[in-house]
Structure 1
Amino acid sequence: MNTPTLGEPRFISTLSHTISDDLRIPERIIIGADPGEQFELAGPRAKLFFDAKQTRAGIVTCGGLCPGLNNVIRSLFLELHYDYGVAEVLGFRGGYSGLDPASGVEPATITPAFVDGIHQKGGTILGSSRGPVDIGRAVDNLIARGVNILFTVGGDGTQRGAHELYQEARKRGHALAVVGVPKTIDNDVGFVSRTFGFFSALEEAARVLDCAHTEARSVPGGIGLVKLMGRHSGFITAGATVASQDVNFALIPEVPFDLDAFLAALKQRMLTKSHAVIAVAEGAGQDLLAANPHARDASGNVRLKDIGLFLRERIEAFFKAEGIPVVMRYFDPSYQVRSRPANCEDALLCDLFARHAVHAAMAGKTGVVIGFLHEHFIHVPIELLATHTKRLDPASGWWRSVLAATGQPAQFA
C-alpha cells in the first residue's frame, strides 16, 4: 500500500546507510499463503522533504499511561536534535487538549536538559488526557506556531485524531507531517507484533499473580483473584499467566465462558487443592454483565462493567451457598501495571519506534503510524490501521500455552 507523502523530497540527508522507498515487507510471510498488504520499510531516506534548520516539530502523548512513554519522548527529541539538527521541538502538554490555545497551556520547549533522566520514570512528562480536540483550532495553532511535524503517541483514538489533523492541514495547504507512534499496553494494534510497554506490563502483572498465589496458598480455602488490563484482547492475561505458571484459571475477552461451568470447576479445584488463583482480563465476561455497548468514555471506547468485582461477589456467594468456607484475596493492579517505567526490552523498542518515526517525518511521510512486523519497522497508513483489529486467537499457540499452564477445563475455556 502506498504511503502518503507531502511531496517530492528536496534536501540531501547527511545520514549514512539510508534505504529506498521501494523496499517492502509483506503482511504475512508463510510460504504458499497470500502475502496480504505490502508495507514500505521504515528507516532513514537519502532525501528529505524538510530542511532541518528551518523545521519545528511537536510531540503529543494521549490516552492512558503505558510503560515507555518518556522513553519515546526522549528518543524522538534526541533523533531530531542530534542526528537531524531540527531547529526546535515543542512538547504539547495534556494530550490533544494541549493543541487547542483555549486550554491556556503553553507547550514546553524540549531541550537536552528537559529530557535528561525522564526515561527512568513512568508516565509521561508531557501529561496526557482522553478525548478529542477541535481539529480546526488545533491546526490553526500548529500553523501559527510554524510546526511542520507532529508526532502523535497514542492508541486507536489518538491515531484517528492524527488522521483528521493531517487531512485538515492538507486542506489548508500547510505541509504538516503527522506520524504516529502506536501506544497500547494491551498489545492489540494491527500490524504491530508487539507494542512498547507490553513486556513491562507482563513483568509487573506476573509479579502480582505471584503475590496472589502466595496469599491464596497461605490460608485454608484461599482464592486469589487478579483483574488485569485488556479491554478487547487477552494478551496481558495470557502472557502473565504463562510467565507465572501458578494461575489455575485465565479468563479473556476472546473466549466466552459459562459462569456456572466456571464455578463448578473452581469448586472442584478447591475441594482437591484448597487454593486457587484466577486471572481475568477487564473485558472478559461482559456478556454476563449486560454492558451497554452504546456507553462510551471520552476516547470513544465502550464503557466496560467491572468483571473483577462481579466475579468476587459471585464466587463468595456460590461458596457460601455450597457451605464451603473460602478466603477471597482480590487484586486490581491496573494503574500499578501501566505506570511503571519501561524494562530493558521495552526501552529498546521505544527507542527504535521513535527513531523510525523521525526518519519517516523528515522524509515527508504523513498520515502514517510506525508498525512492527517480522522484526522490521514499517510505515502503516493510518486509514488502513483503523480497519484492522488484533485479538488473541483461541486456536493459537498463545492460548494453548495458557490451557497447558493452568490445566483449566475445556468446557468453559
Structure 2
Amino acid sequence: MVTLADLQVRTLGEPTVESPLASYVEGRTTNQYYVAEGDRILMDDTLALIDARGVPREDLPTFEAGGPRARIFFEPSRTRAAVVTCGGLCPGLNNVIRALVRSLDDHYGVTEVVGFRNGYAGLDPASGLQPVALTREYVADIHERGGTVLGSSRGARDPGVMVDTLVEHAIDILFVVGGDGSMRGAHALSEECARRGLPIAIVGVPKTIDNDIPHIGQSFGFQTAFARAAQSITAAKVEAQAAVNGVSIVQTMGRHAGFIACYSALAAQTANFVLIPEVPFSLEGPGGLLAHVRQRVADRGYAVIVVAEGVGPHLLPGGEAAADATDASGNQVLGDPGRYLRQRIRDDFAEHGEEATLRYFNPGYFIRSVPADPADAVYCARLAQSAVHAAMSGRTDVVVGRRKHRFVNVPIPAVTKRAHSVSPDGDLWLSVLESTAQPRQML
C-alpha cells in the first residue's frame, strides 16, 4: 500500500533564487482550477478509500503539486540543461522536446540546452554519438512531425559513465523522456549523482504508448495512438462486412496493459470482442472465444476482434516457455496472438464444415510514428512546462504527470514499483463489455 512517505519528492537543496515566475504564483490560493505551492493533492478520491486507511488526516498519502514556485534552486543564467528520449517511439516526442526548450528559454532565461542522441546510448562515449544544441531555431517546427529528432534506443548503460558525461558537459538538469524502463535508468542516474554529491536534477517526462505508468493519470501520445488504432478497427469492420463469414482481427500494442485495445474499441464502437492481458479467456469449449465468434458470425454475418499484443501467452505455440526471451530493455519478447487467432478461427470454422474469410490488421508501428493530435499536443506542452518548473526548483528523481486533472510531481521509485493496468472490476472494462456485448467471461 502506498504511504505518504512513498510520495515525498527529493530536492537538491533550499531554493534561494527568486523565480522569474514569482509574480504569477505569489498570493494565489488553492481553488478548483489551481493548487497552491504549499498545498498537496489527495491520492484517494472517495470517502470510503480515505476511511479504509484509518490514519490521521496529516498522514494520508498525498502528492506534491506541480507547477512554478516563487523561489527556485538554479540560477537561470548559469544553468545548462539536457534532454534524452528513450525507448520506443510515441506521438508527441518532438512536441515535448520543443516545449522543454521553449519553457526553459521563455520562462526562465535558460538558453543552453543540449540533446543527447539515441537514448541513453548518447550518454555513453563508447557510442560515438555527439550531443546536439537544442536552440529555439532547431526546435521551431519539430512538433509538426512524428518521431524524435534526437533518435531513441533501448537498453541500459552504466550510470557512472553516464554521470561522467553529464559532468563533462556541465549539465545541471537532465530531462528523461521515456517509459518505466527509462525511469528506472533515470532513478539510477539520480542515485549516482547523490552518491557523488552532485547537484544535478533528474526529471522524467512519462512516455509510454501502453499508458501503463501508475500515478500519472495518462501518458502523452496515448490519445493520438488509440484514435489512430480506432481507424483500423473501423476499416476492419468494413472488410468483415463485405466478406462471406468475415472475421477481422485488429492487434494493438499493449504488452501488459490493454488500454489501447479498450480505448480504441470504445472510440470505434464497432468491435465485437476485445481481448486484453488482464482478463483471462479460453479458446476451446462452449464458453470459449471460438464458439462465441462462430455464433456471432452466424447471427450477424461478421465479427470484429481487437486483441492486445500481450494477450494469452499460454495460448500460443511454445506456451510459457517462450516467456523467458527478453529484448534489450529487459522486456519479454512477445508472440503474435493476432496471427495465431486468425489461424485458430479459420481451423475452427473448417472443423465445423464452414468457411470463414479472415482479415488481420496490425497498426502498431503506424500509430507510434504519427504526429500528436491537438489534444495530445496541449498535454505535451503542459507536461514539459511542469517538468521545467520541477527541475528549476531543484526537484530530482521525480516524474511529472496529471492525476485527476491536477499536475503532480511523483518520486520515480513510486512509478516503477508496479505497472498500471486495466482493472477487470473497473468502469473502463465495464464500458468495453457494454460496447461490445461480449460475454463477461469466456472460460
Using structure 1 for the length normalisation, give the TM-score. Answer: 0.97
In structure 1, C-alpha distance between the alignment counterparts of 2:245 and 2:323, rounded to whole Å:
37
Deviation at 1:21, TM superposition (A): 4.6
Q: Which residue of 2 aligns with 1:280?
A: 307
C-alpha deviations, 1:230-282, integer Å up to 9, x for none? 11111111111111111111100110101111000111111122211100001
Q: Which residue of 1 aligns with 2:296?
A: 269
C-alpha deviations, 1:163-201, integer Å up to 9, x for none? 011111121221110000011111111012211111101
Q: Which residue of 1 aligns with 2:350?
A: 320
In structure 2, C-alpha distance between the alignment counterparts of 1:334 and 1:7, rounded to whole Å:
43
Q: 1:17 aligns with which of 21, 24, 27?
A: 24
Q: Does 1:205 align with 2:221?
A: no
Deviation at 1:88, TM superposition (A): 0.4
Cα pair 2:177 2:206 within 8 Å, conserved: yes
Cα pair 2:213 2:416 within 8 Å, conserved: no
In structure 1, C-alpha distance between the alignment counterparts of 2:218 and 2:8, rounded to whole Å:
23
Using structure 2 for the length normalisation, give the TM-score. Answer: 0.91
SS at match of 1:293: helix
In structure 1, C-alpha distance between the alignment counterparts of 2:384 and 2:248, rounded to whole Å:
39
Deviation at 1:287, TM superposition (A): 2.1
Q: Which residue of 1 aligns with 2:8?
A: 2
In structure 2, C-alpha distance between the alignment counterparts of 1:323 and 1:116, rounded to whole Å:
61
C-alpha deviations, 1:5-45, integer Å up to 9, x for none? 00111211111323765211111111242275211101111
Deviation at 1:388, TM superposition (A): 3.2
Q: Which residue of 1 aligns with 2:374?
A: 344
Q: Does 1:251 align with 2:258?
A: no
Q: 1:41 aligns with which of 65, 72, 79?
A: 65
C-alpha deviations, 1:384-412, integer Å up to 9, x for none? 11223211111122111111111112331
Structure 1: 5+ residue stretches without partners: none
Q: How does 1:362-401 map to 2 (within 5 A)?
A: 362-401=392-431
C-alpha deviations, 1:199-234, integer Å up to 9, x for none? 101110110000000111011111111000111111
Q: 1:148 aligns with which of 172, 180, 202?
A: 172
C-alpha deviations, 1:363-385, integer Å up to 9, x for none? 00000000221201111001111
Q: Does 1:182 align with 2:206?
A: yes
Letter matched to residue 410 of structure 1: R
Farther-moved stretch of structure 1 (328-337 vs 391-400): 391-400
Letter matched to residue 360 of structure 2: Y
Cα pair 2:274 2:432 within 8 Å, conserved: yes
Q: Does 1:225 align with 2:249?
A: yes
Q: Which residue of 1 aligns with 2:215?
A: 191
Q: How does 1:25-174 map to 2 (within 5 A)?
A: 25-34=41-50, 37-174=61-198
Structure 2: 5+ residue stretches without partners: 1-6, 27-35, 54-59
Q: Does 1:333 align with 2:363?
A: yes
In structure 2, C-alpha distance between the alignment counterparts of 1:121 and 1:64, rounded to whole Å:
16
SS at match of 1:259: coil
Cα pair 1:54 1:87 within 8 Å, conserved: no
Cα pair 1:162 1:178 within 8 Å, conserved: yes
Q: 2:323 aligns with which of 278, 287, 293?
A: 293
In structure 2, C-alpha distance between the alignment counterparts of 1:161 and 1:178, rounded to whole Å:
10
In structure 1, C-alpha distance between the alignment counterparts of 2:429 and 2:135, rounded to whole Å:
45
Q: Which residue of 2 aligns with 1:404?
A: 434
- How many matched pairs? 413
In structure 2, C-alpha distance between the alignment counterparts of 1:137 and 1:189, rounded to whole Å:
27
In structure 2, C-alpha distance between the alignment counterparts of 1:346 and 1:80, rounded to whole Å:
20
Deviation at 1:340, TM superposition (A): 1.0
Cα pair 1:11 1:51 within 8 Å, conserved: yes
Letter matched to residue 312 of structure 2: G
In structure 2, C-alpha distance between the alignment counterparts of 1:316 and 1:246, rounded to whole Å:
21
In structure 2, C-alpha distance between the alignment counterparts of 1:189 and 1:386, rounded to whole Å:
8
In structure 2, C-alpha distance between the alignment counterparts of 1:294 and 1:46, rounded to whole Å:
50
In structure 1, C-alpha distance between the alignment counterparts of 2:416 and 2:359, rounded to whole Å:
39
Q: 2:383 aligns with which of 350, 353, 362?
A: 353
